[in-house]
Amino acid sequence: MVVEYGSVFAIHDKYPVTEGHHLVVTKRHVADYFAMSYNEKRDAEALLSLLKRQMLEDDPSVQGVNVGMNCGEVAGQTVMHAHIHLIPRRVGDVDDPRGGVRGCVPEKMGY
C-alpha cells in the first residue's frame, strides 16, 4: 500500500500503463464506482488529487494524467472491486495522445 485516506487507499498497479500508475481502491468491497458511497467518492477524489500533486513534485517529466474507471465486464473491468486508475503521462509516451480515454475503443480515438 502506498497511502491511506479515509475509506480508500492507493497501491501501485501490478501491470502499469506508465511508470507511476496507481490504483485508488475502496476499503469496503463494492463492485464499481457507481456502488461507492458519497464518502468513498469524496475520499477517492481527495486521494487522487494528493497523488497527482505528489507525482508532479517528484517527477517533472509528468505533464498530465489520465483518470479512469472500468465499470462492468464489457467495459473491461476484470477485478470486480471498485478502483480508480491514475496514470501519469509524459511527452512522447505515445505517438499521438489525442483522444485519451477514448482509446478504450481504438477506432474512436481520432476525431
Each domain of the chain, given as residue ranges in start order, spans 3-92
pLDDT for residue 110 is more than 80 = no
Q: Which residues pair with 83 in a beta bridge?
A: 25
- Report yes or no: 21 and 7 within 8 Å, Cβ to Cβ: no
| pLDDT at 104 (0 to 100) | 80
Question: Domain 3-92: which topology?
Answer: HIT family, subunit A (3.30.428)
Confidence class for position 52, pLDDT limits 50, 70, 90: very high
**pLDDT bucket at 18, cuts 50 / 70 / 90:** very high
Please determine, for residue 105, whether its predicted confidence score (pLDDT) is greater than 90: no
What pLDDT sits at residue 96? 86
* 42 grid coordinates: 469524496
Is pTM beyond 0.75? Reply is yes
